[in-house]
Amino acid sequence: MKNSHSRRPAFVYLLFGLCFAILPLLSCTARINGPLAADGSAILSVSVSLEPRMTSLIRGLASAGGYTDGPILNGSALARSMSAAPGIASASFTNTAPTAIEGPVRISKISDFLAAGSRGGFIAFEQGRTGGRCIISISRDSSPEIISLLSPEIVDYLEALMAPLATEEELSKTEYLDLVSSVYGRPLADEIAAARIRAAIEFPRRITTIRGGNSAGRLAEFDVPLLDVLVLEAPLSYEVAW
């Protein structure tokens, strides 16, 4: 088990590396929208804005690290970091506010995103002549390999948040929120508990079955609590077939 208090805090502009893949890892409002093509490529529109308590925490960590200028979320720097991830063709973000960014992310092959060696990634995609399937699976067993592909700074920040996703500690959601509350205060814990990631993805054909979300025609919509991702008390699994 890793010591969640032993690593230094990350610098602010590298926090977004996992945003649309395994959902935002911060207390924020986030949306992901766009089409997924039959060849596994996609062009997604991503927008993220930090909530007040998380903004204060990040500002404090940045100040302690000597970074006092510029936006809390740096769109151009985040885009450079994200563009280096496996499966990403390009990313471009602009700041709509010091704590908010938006822009397109081009995926070359969804199944390659954060793929780790022979094990592959946590997104399985297949397209046949008559239909296809996309499955996203994240668990405590697979998360260490996903995290290993991120920059050390991002891992540092997740560990500053004491997220079991990064620290590999086996905590329940209640235990994790109590831990955050004891270190950073109850308001931040409540903000994390209320945060959600919402995604609306258009698939190549009319959706026939969906697990973990809702669908209408070719559009699948997901509404996932941030807390479920940070803690992984139970494995997360989402599936769409068309």
DSSP letters for 16-50 = TTTTTTS---SSEEEEEEEEB-TTS-EEEEEEEEE
Higher per-residue pLDDT: 46 or 9: 46
Average pLDDT estimate for 135-158:
70
pLDDT band at 182 (very low <50, low <70, confident <90, very high): very high
- Find out whether 82 and 75 touch, Cβ atoms under 8 Å: no
Which H or E run contains 28? Answer: strand 28-35
What is the predicted pLDDT for the residue at 31?
A: 76
- Find out whether 29 and 51 touch, Cβ atoms under 8 Å: yes
pTM for the model stands at: 0.75
Higher per-residue pLDDT: 142 or 29: 142
**CA–CA separation, 170 and 63 (whole Å):** 31
**CA–CA separation, 63 and 55 (whole Å):** 12
Average pLDDT estimate for 169-185:
93
